[in-house]
């Protein structure tokens, strides 16, 4: 299998979704097919996965950013640890502390713990606690429910990870139960965002490698995460209810659900420019297993994205061609990627699609579609081959006999559900 790339930029995946139905299956049916009911489900699932403004894995990066964003809000700020905003009294005496920082109403119980020499845990129990946002002075937040944050550093040799500013988490666990976090703009009184987690578990584990060409300085740690493992279960979401001067352009709904979802991503080909301070991953590989569903809607521009599926040993290999080697994805760059694994979409009534790359897909930065590459898709006893062409169309060989049975537009925008 040829190398294939990953662009880890948190950009939103444009809605280029698939349809379902039946093709007439004749050799004469070689015209461009744009209607959803004319697109075979095997074609639909591939377009769903590979057609976008960026590489398929950019969706994954966006999902992880959306997940982490609400976790960083409020008592989950960008500071290295929650506990540094609490008094030395609460740290010295790790017992429940009522009304710790609820300036307006409600209660907060905070329990900091040294689980062992290498693990710290912070537990927050909110009873509609209303207070100033710890970072943004113009925001007021209201929290309710249970939130637990646990950090582990297996290499830590100190004695008090709770108070040590150099304690660096290699493993981070978030647990939420009936947890909500609402943010209001104090100037306008408008509800800006609302995040909610009925029950949620999110574990991140990192392995680090030396950054090429980067030496340690007092303020620089010369390592990058060369491997990231995610384990997720539960559901949650976030809502930005309307645009305000402080949040221009925000009016989105984002929801996700996971069931025993596990991903393992490696980035072993890291490039770094000491002069510019920029870097990028040239080659990345991810393996996904378990169920994942994402619903996203930008209500200001009217775009929607929805997709849920069970993944089985679903492998993406991604190779980024950065001709300037400047870490910035621009018009001269391109992406190679391949897919190998099985996926069972929600709308297909248990129908499984097995996808394998014969020839790595090639997508220039300026193209929303691959313009080269070949995939084989199997479902049940049927096997077909898809070939991507430079004119942004896809040749469909419905029985993999080398004869083109249909041609569809690579950019066909169809309904998000297929196989129904």
pLDDT for 213: 81
| 203 falls within a domain | yes
294, 256 in Cβ contact below 8 A? yes
363, 57 in Cβ contact below 8 A? no
184, 141 in Cβ contact below 8 A? yes
| 237 falls within a domain | yes
| 370 falls within a domain | yes
pLDDT for 207: 92
| 6 falls within a domain | no
| 26 falls within a domain | no
Partners of 281 in the β-ladder: 270
| 216 falls within a domain | yes
Q: Which two tokens stand for residue 202?
A: 């999110």
Count of domains in the chain? 1
pLDDT digits (tens, 9 = 90+) for 242-299: 665 555 566 788 999 999 999 999 998 888 877 777 888 889 999 999 999 999 888 7
Over residues 145-167, the mean pLDDT reads 87
Domain that holds residue 230: 32-409
Residue 118: pLDDT band (50, 70, 90) is: very high
| 8 falls within a domain | no
| 23 falls within a domain | no
Total Cβ atoms within 10 A of residue 337: 27
Over residues 381-392, the mean pLDDT reads 93
What does 226-284 look like in DSSP terms, one character per residue? EEEEEEEEEEEEEEE-S-BTTBTT--EEEEEEEEEEEEEEEEEEEEEETTTTEEEEEEE
Three-state secondary structure call for residue 334: strand
């Amino acid at each position: 299998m040829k190398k294939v790339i990953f662009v880890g930029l948190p950009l939103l995946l444009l809605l280029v979704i698939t349809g379902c139905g039946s093709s007439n299956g004749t050799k004469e049916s070689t015209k461009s097919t744009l209607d959803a009911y004319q697109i075979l489900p095997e074609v639909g699932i591939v377009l769903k996965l590979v057609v976008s403004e960026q590489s398929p894995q950019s969706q994954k990066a966006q999902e992880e950013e959306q997940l982490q964003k609400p976790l960083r809000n409020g008592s989950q700020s960008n500071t290295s640890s929650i506990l540094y905003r609490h008094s030395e009294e609460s740290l010295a005496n790790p017992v429940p502390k009522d009304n710790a920082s609820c300036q307006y109403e409600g209660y907060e119980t905070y329990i900091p713990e040294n689980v062992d020499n290498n693990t710290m845990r912070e537990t927050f129990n909110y009873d509609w606690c209303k207070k100033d946002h710890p970072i943004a002075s113009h925001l007021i937040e209201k929290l309710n429910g249970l939130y637990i944050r646990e950090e582990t550093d297996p290499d830590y040799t100190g004695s008090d990870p709770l108070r040590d500013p150099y304690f660096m988490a290699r493993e981070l666990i978030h647990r939420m139960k009936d947890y909500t976090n609402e943010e209001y703009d104090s100037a306008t009184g408008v509800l800006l965002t609302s995040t909610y987690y009925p029950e949620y578990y999110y574990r991140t584990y990192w392995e680090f490698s030396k950054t090429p060409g980067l030496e340690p300085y007092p303020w620089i740690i010369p390592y990058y995460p060369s491997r990231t493992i995610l384990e997720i279960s539960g559901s949650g979401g976030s809502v930005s209810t309307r645009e305000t001067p402080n949040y221009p352009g925000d009016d989105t709904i984002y929801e996700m659900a996971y069931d025993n979802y596990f991903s393992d991503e490696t980035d072993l080909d890291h490039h770094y420019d000491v002069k510019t301070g920029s870097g990028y991953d040239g080659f990345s590989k991810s393996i996904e297993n378990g169920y994942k569903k994402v619903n996203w809607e930008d209500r200001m521009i009217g775009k929607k994205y929805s997709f849920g599926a069970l993944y089985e040993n679903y492998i993406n290999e991604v190779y980024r061609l950065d001709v300037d080697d400047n870490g910035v994805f621009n018009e001269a760059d391109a992406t190679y990627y391949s897919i190998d694994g099985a996926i069972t979409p929600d709308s297909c009534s248990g129908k499984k699609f097995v996808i394998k790359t014969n020839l790595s897909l090639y997508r220039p930065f300026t193209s929303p579609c691959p313009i080269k590459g070949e995939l084989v898709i199997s479902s049940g006893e049927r096997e077909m081959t898809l070939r991507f062409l430079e004119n942004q169309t896809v040749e469909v060989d419905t029985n993999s006999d080398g004869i083109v049975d249909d041609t569809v537009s690579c950019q066909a925008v169809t309904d998000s559900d297929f196989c129904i």
